[in-house]
Homo-oligomer: A and B are copies of this chain.
């Protein structure tokens, strides 16, 4: 989407995230990333002397920051912010994509975790950090909506867990059913936690 601009380095990180979420880390080649970014192959070793591991880690970090920033946008888009409304927006990003562009891609952080959690410590840590930079804004938003502070992080984790799992199922089934289901079933629970006043 927002691709052509920015330097080649940033484009490669972005492309890496795109390809990883489609094919997984192991099946994504460095040459492929450069080609997808429209960047010269020689730039790979120049910008990423740490090799594939570095590129993957930066792509995961980028994805985490992207997800974290999106939370603010979702909140801004809501007429009146509620936990269920936020969650619905988070899920809707995926249903929209799947209905518009097909089920080609999943979450790059999930892909990195599946492919690298055991083999590459630094990537596992990058994934953990990405989940944290995603959970943080969600939890903060919940607190602002009236959710008791000690439950905000827990509910944010539940939201992201459900979303990630539903993404997996939706991709496997090529059907957004799982995504719409978790939205519907989890919404009341989230709003109830914001207190009786709504």
The CA of A184 and the CA of B163, in the complex, are separated in Å by 17
Q: Which residues from B are CB-within-8-Å of A189?
A: 185-186, 188-189
- In the complex this chain forms, how many copies of it are found? 2
In the complex formed, the residue of B with least CB distance to A164 is B165
| Pairwise interchain contact A178-B164, C-beta atoms closer than 8 A | no
Check A158–B182 contact: CB distance below 8 A.
yes
Given contacts A127-B172, A181-B154, is CB(A115)–CB(B23) below 8 Å? yes
On chain A, the number of residues with a Cβ less than 8 Å from chain B's Cβ atoms is 51
The reply to whether the CB of A118 lies closer than 8 angstroms to some CB of chain B is yes
A62-109 contacts to B (CB < 8 Å): 103-106, 109
Given A26-B27, A166-B161, A169-B161, decide whether A114 and B103 contact each other with a Cβ distance below 8 A. no
A128 within 8 A of partner (CB): yes
Chain B residues with CB below 8 A from A15, complex form: none
Least distance between A14 CB and chain B CB atoms (Å): 18
CA distance A151 to B188 in the complex (A): 14
